[in-house]
Chain A
Amino acid sequence: MHLSMPKPETEILRNREELIRRLREIVPVENVIDEQTDLRAYECDALTMYHQLPLVVVLPETVDQVSKIMALASELNVKIVPRGAGTSLSGGSLPLEDGILLGMSKFDRILETDFANRCVRVQPGVTNLEITRAVEHKGFYYAPDPSSQIACSIGGNVGENAGGVHCLKYGLTTNNLLGLEIVLMDGSVLQIGGKHLDSDLYDVMGLMTGSEGLLGVITEVTVRILPKPETARALLLGFSSIERGADCVAAIIAGGIIPGGLEMMDHLAVNAAEDFQSCGYPRDVEALIICELDGTASEVDDLTMRVSQIAREKGADVIRASENDEQRLQFWAGRKNAFPAVGAIGPDYMCMDGTIPRNQLGPVLASIRKMSEKYGLRCANVFHAGDGNLHPLILYDANRPGDVEKAEAFGADILRLCVDVGGVLTGEHGVGVEKRDLMPAMFSETDLKQQQRVKCAFDPKHRLNPGKVFPTLHRCAELGKMHVHRGKLPFPDLPRF
């Protein structure tokens, strides 16, 4: 592991027994996990490259317990790392040696379904897919659909602002929320939003979404649900080069069409998916696009015609439309299982998550190919092409000396390239610990300090999930300092009215 985390505070390590005793006064005894063997289950999230045993794990069951745990941690000056289902791909819930791991798995109830107002109120430990399952009998669904939707929790989705294949048309988590209940580091409980749209003042809900567990602990979420489109059809479009595929993606969007999903996979990913589970993909293409069109039947017919026409003009070798829902889901199965499929040809893989302007897809993929040769590591590419979100999967062997370092360097090169062409480090997986040290590639010192001042408004002592997102931890007192040249600065000589 080549990651430096905040130095464990010896005072906290020394007082571990006292902390455990106090925690057991707040939650049932068995909800405090302190045995080494039991702590193992929490040592990492889905970024398995990094692991660390937490100081102690606590599993609260009520908001009141969360509030008391936070207040206790503040009193004893102990750090807290919140964790949902542990599916973060960026190490967002990587434990700290001197920190409490706050597991939200017992918050697993759906509290209210309100079809007339098109919303569902849930506890944060409910999985993404459970929300859709709870409303689909009435023809509704929850739109954001990260590939891990069967396991990932809605609280974690809010923490990371999770996306998925449908966010091109239906938005990310942040565009599908109505309300949150959060607990701050001092134990105060805040209700943000409700069943109505938008705050009339600061959008605290929008800020919380994607804040990676650094600002508060989410204890309740109200999401918007959507009526299922009448019809959905998936098109497979195969191309003899990545560039042609990328051109086709750009042409679809430029043609005024916003598909329900617009994904692309390269040759290696297509064949890995097909090996993993046969889903009807053509194996001899360099790029495969999956384009999902949804809406009313007449609209979908209309769009199918237009997209097929564009694909033909862009030289598609394969154009295949799903004939029924079963086949549509089969087309998607390969894409949804692309990560484990690539994992199977591994032995290990590292998943990147940069986003770039769509018109840079071709050149960036060409550069990734060159990097792949330079590092001697294979790289399969899966992307949310419609919104320019790349998922290069770097294949390596953790048991081969030097491979991990090479994979990390390869990954960092890809992300720096993304930023250079006008993109960003992470589209949906979060910064966590994984991209933390690359933040200066995208942000100036001033930018990062302003973000950290926002953090100070929530957590002035950096007790909540420290070591994530920000490469350097500045003390809040230092960040708040201001040198004003009192009465000395003249106004600039500007036009005045």
Chain B
Amino acid sequence: MNIFSPSTEEETGEVVRAALAGEQTLDIIGGGTRSGLGRPSSADIAVSTRGLSGVRFYEPAELVLAAGAGTPLVTINEMLDEQQQELAFEPVDHAVLYGGSPQSGTLGGLIAVNASGPRRIKAGAARDHLLGFRAINGRGEVFKSGGRVMKNVTGYDMCKLMAGSHGTFGILSEITLKVLPRAETEQTVVLVGLDDGEAVEVMTTVSGTGYEVSGFAHIPATGEGFSSPVPASLSDHAVTALRLEGPERPVQVRRRELVEFLAGPGRQIETVDHGPSRELWTGIRDVLPMSGQEDQVWRISTAPTKGALLVRDLVREEVPVTYHYYDRAGGLIWLAVAPAADAHADVVRRLVDRHGGHATLVRAADDVRARVPVFHPQSPALAALTKRLRESFDPHLILNRGRIRSDL
């Protein structure tokens, strides 16, 4: 396969128009860290965004940066770090789950999958931080949307569409993002030994209080073959983790108050300090427990109170769950299952439909992802709209064809 590496939008447009003319399909490649997400592809040619890289501007006082879509995320993170700022949505590094080289993802890739981490519940996902973009559509035309300011309702909010479109609307060339001050410090309050149901109840209760918790996860004890993000002294037990972030003194006060709030007979409560706390949440973000092993992985988004019920029902219906943990107070389930040709999709999706939400098959062998719908099946009306939207950007379906659905 020929991989083109244009260094300008004009060149990118030329490649798209040539592909159109030659009736060829075209894959978009960034850092390659997320190529396992979506259906496997078999495009005729590929475009690398690596030539479309470089920071266009970064204005810390304005909380905004713009950079080429091929800019490595690690470059952005280092630059932000120097100014005590960050991308507040905590973009997941998919290399950990898929076994690529860590931190090699690009800015374009994280927008294409609408990446987010544990802070999603408080700070939003990539969609909520994308202020503007430039891209080349499936006609080979350069177009833009949004801007560089925080508030903008001028025209349709195409930023929301581009985030999570898996490269099926256009090749992103430039991305403008909102950045935010990084918290001075963080601490994690941990409850030890709760079962899933108790944990979800505690997490949803605390999420309705003013302690401003910025991460809610429940991590059952990991079995053989699964890595634990939890500090070694606690890793033999189920751990319910509540993260507090902010300036040093207010965090201490909130931690004290939260521990008092949670205290009860028989409850074991620990505190994890800044360094290990950061490691813990990075592991939760990057799906560390399922790294370095071969099970199929589902990512399920549901209402927080449904999380533990859903896992209970999956086990009852004999889905071979090998490990699972919860983020977003129970609203996000990472589920590892023993590999099967159908990835147990029928049962998983029937139960997810019953409780509400969607299930994405994020890791499975190519042949499985080619057969089993990776993204949650939609109602006929929504599926038809999805197709029309896709065609409104890429009428000949040449960009990342087949990645989101076999007919798209």
B193 at the A interface (CB under 8 A): no
Question: B157–A450 contact, CB under 8 A?
Answer: no
B53 at the A interface (CB under 8 A): no
Question: Interface code B1-37, partner A: CB below 8 Å = 1, 0 otherwise?
Answer: 0111110000100110111111100000000000000
Q: Secondary structure at chain B's binding surface: helix, strand, loop or mixed? A: mixed
**Could you say which residues of chain B place their CB within 8 Å of the CB of A492?**
4, 6, 11, 14-15, 18
CA A212 to CA B248, docked complex, whole Å: 44
**Could you say which residues of chain B place their CB within 8 Å of the CB of A253?**
61-63
Question: A424–B147 contact, CB under 8 A?
Answer: yes
A477 at the B interface (CB under 8 A): no
Question: Interface code A401-427, partner B: CB below 8 Å = 1, 0 otherwise?
Answer: 000000000000000000000111111
Question: A206–B160 contact, CB under 8 A?
Answer: yes
Question: Interface code B300-318, partner A: CB below 8 Å = 1, 0 otherwise?
Answer: 0111111000000000000
B322 at the A interface (CB under 8 A): no
A189 at the B interface (CB under 8 A): yes
With A439-B155, A490-B18, A491-B15 as known contacts, state yes or no: A299 contacts B381, CB within 8 Å.
no
A482 at the B interface (CB under 8 A): yes
Q: Which of B212-262 contact A (CB under 8 A)?
A: 212, 246-247, 249-250, 253-254, 257
Q: Which of A373-409 contact B (CB under 8 A)?
A: 384, 387-389
Partner of A209 from B157, B376, B404 at Cβ < 8 Å: B157
Q: Secondary structure at chain A's binding surface: helix, strand, loop or mixed? A: loop
With A228-B210, A453-B392 as known contacts, state yes or no: A427 contacts B153, CB within 8 Å.
yes
Chain B residue at minimum C-beta to C-beta distance from A300:
B250
CB distance from B132 to the nearest CB of A (A): 9
CA A295 to CA B139, docked complex, whole Å: 49
Contact residues on A (Cβ < 8 Å of other chain), bracket:
35 or more
CA A359 to CA B60, docked complex, whole Å: 11
Q: Which of B110-125 contact A (CB under 8 A)?
A: 114, 116, 120-121, 124-125
Q: Which of A169-199 contact B (CB under 8 A)?
A: 171-172, 174-175, 184, 188-192, 194-199
B266 at the A interface (CB under 8 A): no
CA A299 to CA B379, docked complex, whole Å: 46
Seen from chain B, the residues whose Cβ lies within 8 Å of a Cβ on chain A are 2-6, 11, 14-15, 17-23, 45, 48, 51, 59-64, 84, 114, 116, 120-121, 124-125, 127-128, 137, 139, 141-145, 147-161, 163-166, 180-181, 204-205, 207-212, 246-247, 249-250, 253-254, 257, 299, 301-306, 328, 331-332, 356-360, 375-376, 378-379, 381-382, 385-386, 388-389, 391-393, 395-396, 404
CB distance from A23 to the nearest CB of B (A): 24
CB distance from A208 to the nearest CB of B (A): 9
Question: B356–A496 contact, CB under 8 A?
Answer: no
A195, A206, A388 pick with most chain B CB within 10 angstroms: A206
Question: A198–B144 contact, CB under 8 A?
Answer: no
Partner of B204 from A116, A358, A422 at Cβ < 8 Å: A116
Partner of B153 from A117, A426, A450, A494 at Cβ < 8 Å: A426
Chain A residue at minimum C-beta to C-beta distance from B305:
A116
Question: B15–A494 contact, CB under 8 A?
Answer: yes
CB distance from B311 to the nearest CB of A (A): 15
Partner of B21 from A161, A454, A489 at Cβ < 8 Å: A489
**Could you say which residues of chain B place their CB within 8 Å of the CB of A429?**
153
With A211-B156, A443-B155 as known contacts, state yes or no: A457 contacts B392, CB within 8 Å.
yes
CA A422 to CA B146, docked complex, whole Å: 11
With A167-B151, A228-B210, A356-B149 as known contacts, state yes or no: A201 contacts B375, CB within 8 Å.
yes
With A196-B358, A227-B209 as known contacts, state yes or no: A203 contacts B163, CB within 8 Å.
yes
CA A388 to CA B146, docked complex, whole Å: 15
A431 at the B interface (CB under 8 A): yes
**Could you say which residues of chain A place their CB within 8 Å of the CB of B5?**
494-497
Chain B residue at minimum C-beta to C-beta distance from A161:
B153
Partner of A486 from B21, B148, B158, B393 at Cβ < 8 Å: B21
With A200-B360, A496-B2, A496-B5 as known contacts, state yes or no: A424 contacts B152, CB within 8 Å.
yes
**Could you say which residues of chain B place their CB within 8 Å of the CB of A254?**
60-61
Question: B154–A450 contact, CB under 8 A?
Answer: no
Partner of A457 from B359, B360, B389 at Cβ < 8 Å: B389
Question: B253–A296 contact, CB under 8 A?
Answer: yes
Question: B254–A296 contact, CB under 8 A?
Answer: yes
With A355-B151, A451-B158, A494-B4 as known contacts, state yes or no: A203 contacts B328, CB within 8 Å.
no
Chain A residue at minimum C-beta to C-beta distance from B13:
A492
CB distance from B171 to the nearest CB of A (A): 14
A230 at the B interface (CB under 8 A): yes
Question: A355–B149 contact, CB under 8 A?
Answer: yes
Question: B128–A171 contact, CB under 8 A?
Answer: yes
Question: A424–B154 contact, CB under 8 A?
Answer: yes
Question: A357–B148 contact, CB under 8 A?
Answer: yes
With A203-B164, A439-B154, A453-B392 as known contacts, state yes or no: A357 contacts B356, CB within 8 Å.
no
Partner of A194 from B18, B121, B303 at Cβ < 8 Å: B303
With A174-B160, A209-B157 as known contacts, state yes or no: A450 contacts B11, CB within 8 Å.
no
Question: B156–A489 contact, CB under 8 A?
Answer: no
Question: A210–B208 contact, CB under 8 A?
Answer: no
Closest 9 CB pairs of A and B: A206-B160, A256-B181, A195-B303, A254-B61, A457-B388, A427-B151, A489-B21, A387-B150, A299-B250
Chain B residue at minimum C-beta to C-beta distance from A295:
B212
Chain A residue at minimum C-beta to C-beta distance from B60:
A254
Partner of B3 from A116, A256, A453, A497 at Cβ < 8 Å: A497
**Could you say which residues of chain A place their CB within 8 Å of the CB of B164?**
198-203
Q: Which of A109-128 contact B (CB under 8 A)?
A: 114-119
User: What are 27 A-B pairs at a CB distance below 8 A?
Assistant: A139-B210, A161-B153, A174-B160, A194-B356, A195-B356, A196-B357, A198-B301, A204-B382, A206-B161, A227-B210, A256-B84, A258-B181, A296-B253, A296-B254, A298-B250, A299-B250, A355-B149, A355-B151, A358-B61, A384-B151, A425-B154, A450-B145, A484-B21, A491-B14, A492-B14, A492-B15, A494-B5
Question: B253–A209 contact, CB under 8 A?
Answer: no
Question: A450–B21 contact, CB under 8 A?
Answer: no
Question: A484–B20 contact, CB under 8 A?
Answer: yes
CB distance from A456 to the nearest CB of B (A): 6
A469 at the B interface (CB under 8 A): yes
Question: A454–B149 contact, CB under 8 A?
Answer: no
A138, A207, A250 pick with most chain B CB within 10 angstroms: A207
